Amino acid sequence: MIAFGMDVAVPAPGYAEHFALVRQINTEAGHIPQDSLDAWQETGPLHVRREFAQHLQQITESGLLHLVSPFPGVTMPSDAEIADIVTSGVHVFLHG
């Protein structure tokens, strides 16, 4: 389960080009027209976050999950922090 959690939490090697593009867009954001950035955000990252948040909300409303905030931060955790989070989540799942 920990290996599965790590696979979900860490971008797959097959998507390296996608995440390189995202990093480039973030780096060049000051040079890209705002309406283009807004359109990209709406059709990509924000769309995915809204869908994911909606699913988390449904699970929370059903009583299967207690969630304070679906997106607690804006910075990416380190690999060690991801491993700790995934391991803790698996522990809670197995012992909850």
Tell me the per-residue pLDDT of 1-34, one tens digit each, with 9 for 90 and over.
888 788 777 777 788 888 888 889 989 999 999 9
**Cα distance between residue 27 and residue 30, in whole Å:** 8
Return the CA Rg of the chain: 16
What is the crossing angle of helices 34-43 and 45-61, to 10°? 40
**pLDDT at residue number 75:** 65
Q: Please, are residues 52 and 70 in contact by the beta-carbon 8 Å criterion?
A: yes
Q: Please, are residues 7 and 82 in contact by the beta-carbon 8 Å criterion?
A: no
Query: With 90 as the cut, is the pLDDT of residue 81 above it?
Result: no
- Site of tokens 């207690």: 66
Q: What is the mean pLDDT of the chain?
A: 83
